[in-house]
Structure 1
């Protein structure tokens, strides 16, 4: 290999060969930094994987030339001095296409007067919060937006959408002028529309995928499953350390997935473990959005006492259970039927020597493949008659008859006791079905117990939290709209409490992960943050909703809608919150400031502990 170039010669080579404009624009943290590009790349940039020109990829050159990487020399300098003579291959920068496209479009010239007008309407805090990738020293948010951000679809404020403005004003789009500058200089005086007047429900309908498309995706995403030998399951059962057996069915692996129903199965398993009873869990090895029918050869994952045994077809599970002769109590609970057929479940249950068991109403999957009972995933439907016009316009309508038929077969063949976590859930289920259940009862997942712990009090803005997964059916768009609209309002602070942060929000993320070992993590987070209001604006009929109880236990007021099922019942009946008629009434409370009456300092709430139920372990024979 040729000797490395001297520092002075290397710098001169870089000055001649580098594309300084490209270097700054491709690496946005350098766009407005006061640096010498050649000096920066020579000292640090190449080690950070930055590209010096659109036609040269630093990382690709080092990967294709391990001798250069091992020598620890600057790859671009190496290529300029000797690599090109040796015929070494080079690759384009991953940023080249975007850079050339920007050159083709040309920069939109902006005068000092236009920049000043734009600054009056530009929300720097919103821009920085919504674009955390730009949180670098030396980057001016307004300059970035005016030069690059608008081309990348970034918005300058909550009120203005670049994409919508261009779509609503085709003459502006055709002219090639800067859309935001056009608005502040001309469009606002002409009362041009800033955003498409779409609700989040309308936007969701625009993205709605057919049920057939979801089935096709499930087939496409299904991973190959290598079936385990039957003897492995038979041996595991024979060597199970406890007595008896509690058998459960659900739609996924509760030991790996996170959610309310998964936590219920985990707690149920833990309760039977404390009773000294073995727990066998059966779930589809690949997820499936509806029930199956008949005797299938669907690969089923199997857990025994929380440990993975393998994947087996239903027939092999029945064979293994027929050979299981250990003494002790036996029971079973069906938590979810998605991915199962009634025939398979019945065969497995009877092979284990049982016919009477429990059926949980964690959702309304026994009434429809749309387990949340939301018409087209945006509006609560209340389970109308299967042949109604309402079902005819819903993506789940065609699949509903099969869902009902499989559950009717299940209830006709097994002696099932229905367990609902709330009266609302049980009433809804009874109104929507005529299954022949042996018995139906209410067993809440948790209850509130007064605590001696002193409640936290603090001064300052009202703290509003969205606890949990940021999904539409949980009301995330409603919360996010408020968080973004009132981001600069000094009266409010918004928090998102979840295991993972969400994009496109000004709400501050706080990591929270509820597990069997940390069942009160959400409650504790809301106490530590002194959350005043928990927005639990569920669009579907919640059968229970842990976060509503966790919020009340932490002293937060639960604010919800009439559609939220047990959340609305809990908030109204217990005095732990407020039920508002719709999103407009909710937003009006924030506009007027009336929501401030729910602050801790005004309400002086107490704290509660949560007493969790033992689930099916409370009912099954010991």
Structure 2
């Protein structure tokens, strides 16, 4: 029976190298393992990686046999040859020859002779280090891109810490990439032997992985990244249930007191989050609606799920709601407390409501809350397609536009949202049964599509664009000898088409005919595009269109992966004088770009690449088309529909 391993301490890299090198048989190792590239040092390969793969360092030593016979060594993940020479031999542990020894000796015309493992120096306590710190640091430093690392990690830049030190110590453990061409996550996913070794993956790639033909990142495209991160909708719901069940709520009396202090005229809205704390198109819409109702002399009460929910809720699922009054967060309340508080409102007064999103809400609960306030007739906004599917962007597995096929179709059967689709369609059907809802669509394209896919027949429907262009005269003349300026407008996320722009910028980065720019909230250093930080807010609604005009953007590539119901970015780009270029499945973006003087709708990504290769896209240069300037007049949302006289 094997003796137990004594307490071990970390050996120096020099001791590791010296001990193993004293008996390592390079001729044997290269003859037996002929997959080893000639440019890789055989001793280094064995010490860092080979022993983990069960490779033998010499004819007389079987790595697999030693670890099998000594489970304590295997459990502690100790390099077996070093352990034997420095501890195991003195503890009486036995070794077996390599299974490749006989074949090796036969091949070199030697006669196997009896042997004993060589003796080596005094034993000392140690724990194996897989790769020396000096080797790793030197390898990383040779190819590390500090400028890229700081741009990709603004928190590191703000801290003032040396980026190379940060990456070596913690960055790679957090999945941060050292260069645009190397993905820590991809490398570890593709090389489980390195993942379990504890080695810095970039150091391994530079020292050995590249020579072995290992890829620094996968070439499966952005769709693979999305799919690899998908979680079943049921798991997301379970998480929401657990979080919701642990929420603490405020007493109803607090809400009652706040409501009693309001004016008799009240507008109530529902959405999926706190529109003040979160940013986005829908959130800006609710803010503009609140401002418009304030102008109409009405207070504004907003209800949203206090804990994030991926779908609509069902009866019995926990659903405390956050309550905001006139833009101020009042607290978290149980739905029955909100019903009770609204039921205490004095009769009379002008009241209205709009449902901007049912995510995180239950249909009967929502109707009960509104009926407590004496409301049944209101508005339901089509900001997305949650009324058709739990995958409210209508992307099969968050990757491909699905067009909302029949629920019993094979297409739904292969989508992770398929088994949750009924949850949404039934919930919205129930909502329309309980309430008299006018469907408000931000575009005709959205309303037409929704009507062809839903079984709901609303009593009324109306189209109200979220913004419209108002002419402000011709734009300044632009020289014709500068490159075509092509911009991506918005956050660099797959849903908004960033992978298409990024690939285009990489393909034509060296083409003098084009200059690529990114106008948005955060950069992507891996894409060769000049970044300009631009964020449109309620306080600065014209920020994006002003930047498009100031930077003289010729083309705004707006190529979303989903059907946009409106697209503020398309209107902002056009207002700044740019032409919108998009694909055929972009919803209202395509409808907008198809209008005369607004942009260009291409058949697909191949057509996009062709337009740039041939130079056809150059016809959209400002110098050639002499664009006009516009200002954006934003909608007051439901406030415009209700009107001042209601």
> TM-score when scaled to structure 1?
0.72
Determine the C-alpha separation between the residues in 2 that align with 1:560 and 1:108: 45
1:236 pairs with 2:258: yes
1:282 CA drift (Å): 0.6
Aligned match of 1:289 in 301, 310, 313? Answer: 310
Q: Describe the shift of the 1:317–1:455 C-alpha distance in structure 2 as closer, same or farther (beyond 3 A).
A: farther
- The answer as to whether partners of 1:130 and 1:505 remain within 8 angstroms in 2 is no
Task: State the shift of 1:125 in Å.
Answer: 9.1
TM-superposed CA distance for 1:618, in Å, is 1.9
Aligned counterparts of 1:580 and 1:460: Cα–Cα separation in 2: 24
Identify which range, 392-401 or 576-585, moves more after superposition. Answer: 576-585
Q: Which residue of 2 aligns with 1:347?
A: 368
Within-5 A mapping of 1:468-617:
468-502=490-524, 504-617=526-639
> Cα–Cα, structure 1 residues 497 and 109, in superposed 2: closer, same or farther, change >3 Å?
closer
Distance 2:510 2:180 in 1: 11
**Residue ranges of structure 2 left out of the alignment (5+ in a row):** 1-11, 13-128
Paired residues for 1:303-322 under 5 Å: 303-322=324-343
Separation of aligned partners in 1, 2:438 and 2:354: 9
Q: Give yes or no for contact 1:243–1:276 (8 Å, CA) kept in 2.
A: no
- Deviations along 1:469-496, whole A, 9 cap, x unmatched? 2221111111122233434444333322
Structure 1 unmatched ranges of 5 or more: 1-18, 20-99, 111-117
Q: 8 Å contact 2:555–2:578 — kept in the other structure?
A: yes
Superposed, 1:462-473 pairs within 5 Å as 462-473=484-495
In the aligned structure 1, how far is the partner of 2:249 from the partner of 2:219?
52
Q: Whole-Å Cα distance in 2 between the matches of residues 319 and 140 of structure 1?
A: 56
State which of 453, 456, 473 in structure 2 corresponds to 1:432. 453
Q: Is the 8 A contact 1:533 1:558 kept in 2?
A: yes
Rounded to whole Å, the distance in 2 between the matches of 1:282 and 1:123 is 47
- Of 591-600 and 324-333, more deviation after overlay is shown by 591-600
Q: Does 1:106 align with 2:138?
A: no
Change (3 A) 1:225 1:405: same
Distance 1:326 1:554, change over 3 A: farther
| Deviation, structure 1 residue 539 | 1.2
Aligned to 1:396: 417
Counterparts of 1:140 and 1:523, CA distance in 2: 35
Instruction: Tell me, yes or no, if the aligned pair for 1:284 and 1:298 is still in contact at 8 Å.
Output: yes
Partner of 1:452, secondary structure, is strand
Corresponding residue for residue 3 of structure 1: none
| CA distance in structure 1 between the aligned counterparts of 2:400 and 2:606, rounded to whole angstroms | 16
Q: Does 1:279 align with 2:300?
A: yes
> Which stretch shows the higher mean deviation, 599-608 or 163-172?
163-172
- 1:59-138 to 2 correspondences below 5 Å: 103=132, 106=135
Establish whether residue 205 from structure 1 lines up as the match of residue 234 from structure 2: no
Contact 1:358 1:616 in 2 (8 A): yes
Alignment match, 2:345: 324
Q: Distance in 1 between matches of 2:520 and 2:495?
A: 16
Distance 1:203 1:244, change over 3 A: same
Distance in 1 separating the partners of 2:344 and 2:242? 36
Q: Is the 8 A contact 2:474 2:626 kept in 1?
A: no
Aligned to 2:34: none
Going from structure 1 to structure 2, the CA distance change for 1:522 and 1:288 (only over 3 Å counts) comes to same
Summarize the Cα distance change of 1:390–1:610 in structure 2 as closer, same or farther, 3 Å threshold: same
Partner residue in 2 for 1:362: 383
Q: Separation in 2 of the partners of 1:606 and 1:238?
A: 51
For residues 273 and 265 of structure 2, the distance between their equivalents in structure 1, rounded to whole angstroms, comes to: 24
- Say which one has the larger Rg: 2
CA distance in structure 2 between the partners assigned to 1:127 and 1:282 by the alignment: 41
> Contact 1:293–1:343 (CA<8 Å) still a contact in 2?
no
The offset of 1:362, in angstroms, is 0.3
